[in-house]
Structure 1
Amino acid sequence: MSQDFSASWQYEVPTAGSRHLPPDAGYAKALTNQGYGFEVAVADLIDNSIDAGADKVVVHFLRDTERILSLLIVDNGHGMDDSALDAAMTVGHRRDYDDRALGMYGTGLKAASLSHADSLTVVSRTKRSRAAGRRLTAEGIADDFRCDTVDPSYAQDLVDCYDGIIEWQGTVVRWDLVRAFRTVTPGQSDQYLSRAISQLETHLGLYLHRFLSRGLALDIAVWDVSSGEGMLGEELDHIAVEALDPFGYKVPGRAQYPKKYTAPIEGVGDVQLTAHIWPAKSRQAGFRQIGSLNERQGFYFYRNDRLVQAGGWNNLRTPEGHLALARIEVDLPSHPNPVFSLDVKKEGVTVTPSFTAGVERAVDAAGHSFPAYLADAEAAYRDGAKRSEIVRKPVTAPGKGIDPKIKRVITEELPQKPGEDPIAFSWAPLPADRFFELNRDANTVLLNKSFREDFNDGRRGGANDAPVTKTLLYLLLEDCFGLGRWERGRQDRIDYWNTILLASVRTQRERRERGMD
């Protein structure tokens, strides 16, 4: 006999019991194939550090002379004890998040890590517990969702290596058997790391810029474990990530901007939009160095101060060149709602049609409409296109050895030659009559190591030391790279620059020894 559903279709479907269905082993493959980009995965782990109250985070690459070995993310957050580690490493475990947390789904640590590495280790300590650790491997998950316990002595040794960060509490997340690292051929590690660190610095600087502006210390470091200096070796490079504000212009591109608009969104209520117009032809990093201008126009969504979408019109309109100066800041409601949904990787927001309908009806305090803002942004672009400007000669980009803050200013002020490796600076043993030499094959300026302490007040310098000297040499020597035939006149210039600089550094040394400086 057929059942009449016409009167009860809208009610809950009746059930007749339940079964426990454990995850299939194939779930492990799905977990490791979430489509996380490298920078997105690292940012997801740093979200966990911020949620743990960390104000210091280091992204740490370990390498030897030929290979990139491991990646570690170290923080000084409140840490985890044994039970918290078990929960964090349980596949499928979902914990509760408060309204201000950056975490959402409870899968980021495992999914982001195992998308790139076949082995994930987490070592942590709290103020009340000793260092402890757990390890997940792709093989162990595929077999029986096995989680290994890290030897306590190793856990303590690893924490001790980072005593400058983890003083009383903190966490180390370690990736081993990183699939991308294993594809790097011997001799190409420097080039790979240079590109990877540059992309990572840009992504973290952009998506975490509000936290960085408020004092989060986020560094990227490279250490050579083959040097024999301690458990982690010798530091080769160190970069302090700076905030890359997509609204960080000095002067707006149109008077009276930015403006705040109120959009009535059905299902959420009033949502505030802060509309910005960049100055035309800006060279600032927050405008030009975060991706193509067409991709970066439109909406910038934030969730709890964390950028989760950098540009895009979300079906309001299509990107086009005349709106390249238009960017709109939107802080998402902290509570769940039916209009905005964020993907698990936190790099895109999906909206319902009620959002675009509400934006089209948005007005500012004076009653000006959102379409009027778009018209102002387009007019600013057209006015800027009419203005002539001095065209500066492109240069080869500065590279390793120059402080990132200086590199950013150089790239803001000077256009870059496409397709050329950056000019790096390195201290090396050189003859006593040479202050510097050029390795044009490797695009590197070699500085005489015997003078290094003279530029660091007698202390051991870091990877980005002697910033004034390196910057001046970069400006002098940039046009000596990327050439075909090496002219005698250029060599003569290199020779007399060496002679003059040697006299300068020796004079500086003599003055310091006499106590005159």
Structure 2
Amino acid sequence: MTVINKKVVPPHAIRTIEGLRDTGYEFNTAMADIIDNSIAANASKINVTIEMDFMGDINIFIADNGIGMNEQGIEAAMTYGSPKRENQKSLGKFGLGLKTASTAFCRSLTVTTRDSGDSQIYKARWDLDHVAEADDWELLLLDPIKQEIDMLDDISNNGSGTIVTWEKVDRLLKDYQDPSGTYARRALEKIVDNLKEHVAMVYQRFLDPRFVEAPDVNIKINNELIEPWDPFCTDETNTEVVAEELQEVEFEDGTQTEFSIKAYVLPRKEEFSSDEMRKNAKLSNDLQGFYIYRENRLIHYGNWLGMYTNEPHGTLLRVEFSFEYLMDEAFNVDIKKSNISLSTELYNWLREQFLPAPRRAANERYRKGQKKSVQKASKGAHDTSNKGIGNREKDLKMSDLEVNEDTNDVQVTNKKGKVRIKLPILKPAKAGELYVSPVDSIEDGLLWEPALIDTKHAVTINTNHSYYRKVYIPNLNSSVIVQGMDSLLWALSEAELGTISEDTKHHLKELRYEVSRILRRLVEDLPEPELDNHEEY
């Protein structure tokens, strides 16, 4: 290839800036990008103020007492694709976060700053409307106003620091008929509350003075000091660490690093040592899975990175995964530092070697509580079935059963003749429960089994079978559906007793076993039931 000439082709200013507004930032993620810059500047105090004026206009200020910037520093920081930081551990990564995160929600981004070696305050602004008018990359250099000087002096004690200001905020709230009215203000309050929770989680290690590996940082949002939120409930005595690894990594160029991974199984709701601990745990289907930390900053949480779907039985399992900046490329950390993807080798190691044991432990603990919940939920659910079958049993029964008290077996007399079989002989668990009885388990994991309850032809149903959990439980409020399913299982049991013989008794049990096995497989992909009204996990 022959190069005839070279020409620098700069990007079109306003089209580029407007395009970068749509990089997919959510508000919490965007705010975290600005806070990252403050932490990278060694700030120990960060104050976030989000306010709405009487016209409904929103202004946002992020002030810190970090090292600040001189004139060259602020121009570099405001450059799209700013120079790479000397400290590669910095939470800022691509030199785009300040600009793209801010303009994702506002049309005017201002930075006001003062460093420790210069008493002068520098101020620069990207105003998208001005860029459009000038049709060029014109950064406005301005004099600070009194509000900014006072804010900077207050947080820095007249020392170094920086203020990031968002004005012309046009993408935070939807359009309200009354932009400053009650509904708009309530919506903004909800956004602020969500941000507080997000900051408490993402910067937990910086906010918690007990975590010595990260510098201490105080963050206030609208004058409220943010307390750290620990997703692993490490202060709860009943939290279990069920697996942990420290893995060394060596890259092709000889660079060596390591990552750590630790799996926690949280207590079931009734196992927490206090109501406060239980409430603070925030047990939720959306908060299970990996919690991935880059340089002690949470960058991803709340799922299994495509390995598994989030289901209630995984609610108690949270996995801490920590790595340093040297593994950025291996984890493909994105521009927003909110997503990662794993190499095939690491993905397979996690899924096939590390996670199986923690998943079994979490599942076992969950099932113990779920078993109680299912029992509670199913209480009384089969009453209509018992009544309906009782009204027709005499007309429908196909055999006579006689109990041998000495051998505890049952002689069945039907149209095929007589045969002796083992059959559960039960007392009613409660008054009226004579024909359909939910039980904790049945041998060989069967879904149902013929039984005798107080001399009545009955069926027991295994509430621990996944078909009962996933099909019965979601429909317990519909007596018609429950009665229909109960009637089917009672009919199968009665038909078995009415046709059983010495030659077929083993085959009929095998049939129940195979049907139970097939049903278990068929419902594998059905969601686990939400037991909010009953659950005690």
Aligned to 1:278: 266
Q: Which amino acid aligns with 2:366?
A: Y
Deviations along 1:334-390, one digit per CA (max 9) or x if unpaired, are: 21455311111121111122112122454xxxxxx641221001101111224579x
Structure 2 residue aligned with 1:200: 195
How many Å separate the matches in 1 of 2:277 and 2:23?
29
Find 1:244's aligned residue among 225, 229, 233: 229
Question: How far apart in 1 are the matches of 2:139 and 2:275?
Answer: 47
Q: Does 1:259 align with 2:260?
A: no
| Distance change (3 Å), C-alpha of 1:336 and 1:14 | farther
Matches of residues 498-509 of structure 1 in structure 2 within 5 Å? none
* Corresponding position of 1:447: none
Contact 1:263 1:359 in 2 (8 A): no
Matches within 5 A, 1:247-396: 247-251=232-236, 253=238, 255=240, 257-262=241-246, 271-281=259-269, 293-336=284-327, 338-360=329-351, 362=353, 370-387=355-372
Cα deviation digits, residues 51-90 of structure 1 (max 9, x gap) = 0011111111233345243111100001111111111111
Q: Which of 93, 114, 139 is equivalent to 1:104?
A: 93
| Equivalence map 1:33-52=2 (5 Å) | 33-52=22-41
CA distance in 2 between partners of 1:137 and 1:169 (Å):
25
Give SS of 1:71's match: strand
2:82 corresponds to: 93
Q: Specify the SS of the correspondent of 1:351.
A: coil
Find the counterpart in structure 2 of residue 187 from structure 1: 181
CA contact 1:66–1:187 (8 Å) conserved in 2: no
Q: How many residues align?
A: 353
Gaps of 5+ in 1: 1-12, 222-237, 363-368, 392-517
Residue 181 of structure 1, CA deviation: 5.2
In structure 2, what is the Cα distance between the partners aligned to 1:264 and 1:128?
Answer: 41
| Matching residue of 2:525 | none
Q: What percent identity do the matched residue pairs reach?
A: 29
Partner amino acid, structure 1, of 2:150: D
Of the three residues 147, 150, 153, the one matched with 1:163 is 153
Q: Deviations over 1:10-38 (max 9, x none)?
A: xxx99676431201232122122112111
The separation in 1 between residues aligned to 2:16 and 2:281, in whole angstroms, is 35
Q: Write the distance in 2 (CA, Å) between the matches of 1:272 and 1:161.
A: 40
Q: What is the letter of the counterpart of residue 186 of structure 2?
A: Q
Residues in 2 aligned to 1:94 and 1:361: alpha-carbon distance in whole angstroms: 41
C-alpha displacement of 1:186: 2.7
Distance in 2 between the 1:302 and 1:148 partners? 36
SS, match of residue 156 in structure 2: coil
3-state SS in 2 of match to 1:246:
coil
Distance 2:77 2:100 in 1: 12
In the alignment, is the contact (CA less than 8 A) between 2:152 and 2:161 conserved in 1? no
Whichever residue aligns with residue 64 of structure 1, its letter is D
> Counterpart of 1:144?
136
Describe the SS at the equivalent of 1:62: strand
Matched, 1:209 2:204: yes
How far is 1:218 from its partner? 0.8
User: Does residue 135 of the first structure (1) align with residue 125 of the second (2)?
Assistant: yes
The one-letter amino acid paired with 1:77 is: G
Give the direction of change, closer, same or farther, for the CA distance of 1:265–1:295 in structure 2 (3 Å limit).
farther
Structure 1 or 2, whichever has the larger Rg, is: 2
Distance 1:270 1:58, change over 3 A: closer
Give the corresponding residue for 1:19.
7
Structure 1 62/361 Cα, relative in aligned 2: closer, same or farther at 3 Å?
A: closer
Verify the 8 A CA contact 2:89 2:324 in the aligned structure 1: no
Counterpart residue type for residue 9 of structure 2: L
- The TM-score, its normalising length taken from structure 2, stands at 0.60
Q: What is the RMSD of the two structures over their aligned residues, measured on CA atoms?
A: 3.0
Provide closer, same or farther for how the CA distance between residues 172 and 199 of structure 1 changes in structure 2, counting only shifts above 3 A: same
Query: How far off its partner does 1:92 sit?
Result: 2.9
Structure-1 residue corresponding to 2:49: 60
| Residue segments in structure 2 that go unaligned for 5+ positions in a row | 210-215, 377-537
CA deviation vs aligned residue, 1:312-354 (integer Å, no higher than 9, x gap): 2123222222111111111123214553111111211111221
Separation in structure 2 between the aligned mates of residue 63 and residue 197 of structure 1, nearest angstrom: 12
Where in structure 2 are the equivalents of 1:107-122 lying within 5 Å? 107-122=96-111
Larger deviation: 103-112 or 64-73? 64-73
- State the shift of 1:128 in Å: 1.9
User: Which letter maps to 1:216?
Assistant: V
SS of structure 2 residue aligned to 1:315: coil
Tell me the distance in 1 between the aligned counterparts of 2:267 and 2:190.
29
Which deviates further from its counterpart, 240-249 or 178-187? 178-187
Q: Distance in 1 between matches of 2:276 and 2:330?
A: 32
3-state SS of paired residue (2:357):
helix
